[in-house]
Amino acid sequence: MLLLQLPMLAGESRKRVALLVFGLLAALALGLGGKALIAQIEGERGIAPVATTGDFEVTDIQVDEKGDNAEDARTNGWKAAERKAYEKLLAQNGGTGSLGDDAIEAMVSAIEVQHEELAPHRYIATLTVVFDRERAGAYIGASAGRAHSAPLLVVPVMESGGAQSVFETRTAWQRAWAEFHADQSVIDYVRPNGGGADSLLLTAGQINRRSRTWWRSVLDGFNASGVLMPVARIERQWPGGPVQVTFTARYGPDNKYLGSATLTAKDEASLPQTLAAGVRRLDAFYAQALGAGLLAPDPSLNVGTAIDPALIDA
């Protein structure tokens, strides 16, 4: 028996998505046959996005500290990271106020290790420092009143080896977006799990579909007002060698271009860190676009709006 897990919605939105999904299933069943359809839905799919806590997270803090022994060097490194992260966060949010190391440490709720190297008297690392919002907010001056976007659906597209993938299989790019802590972003990201019906609704082929009827039904299913298509094109230079990734920020039912950036991982093991950095780079593109008014809800997605008939069933 084939079971589909639909988004947890109520009323008309859920009915609309249900009709959309089952209409798609019927078409696939006719074209592919039952066994092929089951294979399309079953399998290892879905990565749950991390829960947002509202805390301040500062990534990519690099330290190189010495100590009487390895543990002492690490302690010195973490203290230095806390100080650097506080100063960086202060600058980002326009806050003022000089604090001692003990006061800063009291605001830190967690330290995450991105990369570290230990020696008998030396500690080299790249760290993420997480500050408790309630304790740090008064000093940092982060504006809770910053303008945020409307809810925007994220469709992460990965290109590798000439093929595109969204939720058809679990990808490293999907994982990078699922693990992104969006607490401090001005973008309200709606990140699908990628399991169940998501792998049928949101595919690489659909991102170029311009039909407003289609997109309105999909967006209603996720309670979103618009769509973002962050693309990662992965190019492996040679087996075991560097991996070049071109990140492109696209948005809207017309798949419009916003900007792009290229980063290089030194090897396959470093690729997850590079993809995480790419997510942050694209988040900055989307934040700039929001400030420029480019991410406002597309009026052509409103059912009652008169639009070009060519776009209705494109």
- pLDDT given for residue 147 in this prediction: 66
Domain assignment present for 314 = no
Q: How many domains does the chain contain in total?
A: 2
Rounded CA-CA distance 304/274 in Å is: 43
Same domain? 198 vs 178: yes
Domain assignment present for 3 = no
Domain assignment present for 51 = no
Element (H, E) at 122: strand 122-131
The answer to whether 177 and 275 have CB atoms below 8 angstroms apart is: no
Domain assignment present for 6 = no
Domain assignment present for 115 = yes
Same domain? 194 vs 263: yes
Give the domain-ending residue among 140, 165, 196. 140
The set of residues, in sequence order, having a beta carbon less than 8 Å from that of 290 and lying 6+ positions away, is 147, 149, 186, 187
Give residue-wise pLDDT tens across range 94-130. Answer: 666 678 888 888 888 888 888 899 999 999 999 988 8
Same domain? 222 vs 277: yes
Give residue-wise pLDDT tens across range 257-290. Answer: 999 999 999 888 889 999 999 999 999 999 999 9
Same domain? 181 vs 294: yes
Same domain? 130 vs 178: no
Q: Pick the closest to residue 197 from 16, 7, 1 (CA basis).
A: 7
Same domain? 208 vs 289: yes
Rounded CA-CA distance 64/69 in Å is: 14
The answer to whether 191 and 224 have CB atoms below 8 angstroms apart is: no
Same domain? 195 vs 256: yes
The answer to whether 115 and 125 have CB atoms below 8 angstroms apart is: yes
- pLDDT given for residue 54 in this prediction: 62
Give the domain-ending residue among 112, 140, 168. 140
Average pLDDT in the chain: 79
- pLDDT given for residue 50 in this prediction: 63
Same domain? 165 vs 23: yes
Same domain? 163 vs 210: yes
pLDDT tens string, the chain, 314 residues long: the values are 444 444 444 444 444 444 454 455 444 445 544 444 444 445 565 676 665 556 778 888 999 999 999 999 999 999 999 999 988 888 777 666 678 888 888 888 888 888 899 999 999 999 988 887 777 776 776 554 556 788 899 999 999 888 888 888 888 999 999 888 877 788 989 888 877 777 787 888 888 888 888 888 888 888 888 999 999 999 998 888 899 999 999 999 899 999 999 999 988 888 999 999 999 999 999 999 998 888 888 888 875 544 555 555 55
Domain assignment present for 306 = no
For 67, the domain range is: 56-140
- pLDDT given for residue 153 in this prediction: 92
- pLDDT given for residue 232 in this prediction: 95
CB atoms within 10 A of CB 214: 17
Domain assignment present for 187 = yes
Same domain? 109 vs 155: no
**Bridge pairing between strands 151-154 and 226-236:** parallel
- Coil vs helix vs strand at 101: helix
The answer to whether 93 and 140 have CB atoms below 8 angstroms apart is: yes
Same domain? 297 vs 166: yes
Sole residue written with tokens 């690490």: 74
| DSSP characters over 47-68 | -PPPPP---EEEEEEEEEEE-S
Domain assignment present for 274 = yes
Give the domain-ending residue among 117, 140, 163. 140
- pLDDT given for residue 133 in this prediction: 72
- pLDDT given for residue 95 in this prediction: 64
- pLDDT given for residue 296 in this prediction: 84
Same domain? 71 vs 34: no
- pLDDT given for residue 157 in this prediction: 93
Q: How many residues does the chain have?
A: 314
- pLDDT given for residue 2 in this prediction: 43
